[in-house]
Amino acid sequence: GQQVMQIPQYQHVQEGEDFTTYCNSSTTLSNIQWYKQRPGGHPVFLIQLVKSGEVKKQKRLTFQFGEAKKNSSLHITATQTTDVGTYFCAGRNFNKFYFGSGTKLNVKP
Amino acid sequence: DVKVTQSSRYLVKRTGEKVFLECVQDMDHENMFWYRQDPGLGLRLIYFSYDVKMKEKGDIPEGYSVSREKKERFSLILESASTNQTSMYLCASSLLQGVTGELFFGEGSRLTVL
């Protein structure tokens, strides 16, 4: 069945270091969304990528969608303690969202 | 702002009990979803609905049922709770049918089955 694999499961960084999480799908996706879940909170939508090869930026966050629309990445430049949380990708195939298992980011001040 | 409200933040139930988890959204969204979240497994879709009285199975529907009698309300039912259903349950809604809209999540309901 449809699967979206996400790595790494955990990442511990020093404040100011960069961070990247990767998602790979077993099949081509219509689009991919990214969510952030703060500790004790619920997932909150960050962005959606639709086009093959698309790159979008939100301040220190850069999102990429692969050419084959099977993989995506989220890169955070110069992490801050406010970036702490779990980042999920969610790939869409037809009318279903398939979530990755998430990457839990811890930022040490 | 869209608001998705889940009726209970924390529940403790006994094995075999019937459990109702209620979710209400206030933005007239067509789509509603129930997920469960477990460490290391991410969010797994239990059921979803695109319209009143309409439901479709997600990836892990076994042991669950749903009800959508009104557009704003989507209920998850555990007919006979079991310990392996101890989890965080997240309700979500989205605006556009057939076209991806962002998912708006509720605060979650943490269920413990003893």
Contacts of B39 (CB under 8 A, 6+ apart): none
- Specify the residue for token string 């529907």: B61
Does residue A74 surpass a pLDDT of 60?
yes
Q: Which residues of chain B make contact with A99, given a CB cutoff of 8 A?
A: 35, 42-44
User: CA of B15, closest CA in chain A: separation in Å?
Assistant: 26
Instruction: Answer whether A99 sits within 8 Å of B50, measured CB to CB.
Output: no
Identify the pLDDT of residue B110.
96
Contacts of B12 (CB under 8 A, 6+ apart): B111, B112, B114
User: CA of A87, closest CA in chain B: separation in Å?
Assistant: 10
**Per-residue three-class SS string for B44-85:** EEEEEECCCCCCEECCCCCCCEEEEEECCEEEEEECCCCHHH
Q: Which residues of chain B make contact with A92, given a CB cutoff of 8 A?
A: 100
Identify the pLDDT of residue B99.
55
Q: A5 CB near a chain B CB, below 8 Å?
A: no
User: CA of B113, closest CA in chain A: separation in Å?
Assistant: 20
Sheet-wide strand order for B73-78: B4-6, B19-25, B73-78, B65-70
The residue type of A62 is: T
User: CA of A14, closest CA in chain B: separation in Å?
Assistant: 23
Pick from A48, A92, A102: which is nearest to B42 by CB?
A102
Q: B100 pLDDT band (50/70/90 cuts)?
A: low
Q: A104 CB near a chain B CB, below 8 Å?
A: no
Instruction: Answer whether B102 sits within 8 Å of A48, measured CB to CB.
Output: yes
| Mean pLDDT taken over chain A | 94
Identify the pLDDT of residue B91.
97
A19, A61 Cβ separation under 8 angstroms = no
Pick from A31, A41, A99: which is nearest to B43 by CB?
A99
Identify the pLDDT of residue A107.
97
Q: B102 pLDDT band (50/70/90 cuts)?
A: confident
Q: A1 CB near a chain B CB, below 8 Å?
A: yes
Proportion of chain A above pLDDT 70, given as a percent? 96
Greatest C-alpha distance within chain B: 40
- Region of A60 (left: φ > 0; alpha: ψ -120 to 50; beta: rest) is alpha
Identify the pLDDT of residue B108.
96
Cβ–Cβ pairs < 8 A, chains A and B: 49
Indicate the SS3 state at residue A21: strand
Proportion of chain A above pLDDT 90, given as a percent? 84
Identify the pLDDT of residue A1.
57
Instruction: Answer whether A101 sits within 8 Å of B58, measured CB to CB.
Output: no
Identify the pLDDT of residue A2.
60
Does residue B97 surpass a pLDDT of 60?
no
Task: Report how far residue A20's alpha carbon sits from residue A62's, in angstroms, rounded to the nearest whole number.
Answer: 9
Q: A25 pLDDT band (50/70/90 cuts)?
A: very high
Model confidence pLDDT, tens digit, residues B33-79: 999 999 888 899 999 998 898 899 998 999 999 999 999 999 999 99
Contacts of B62 (CB under 8 A, 6+ apart): none
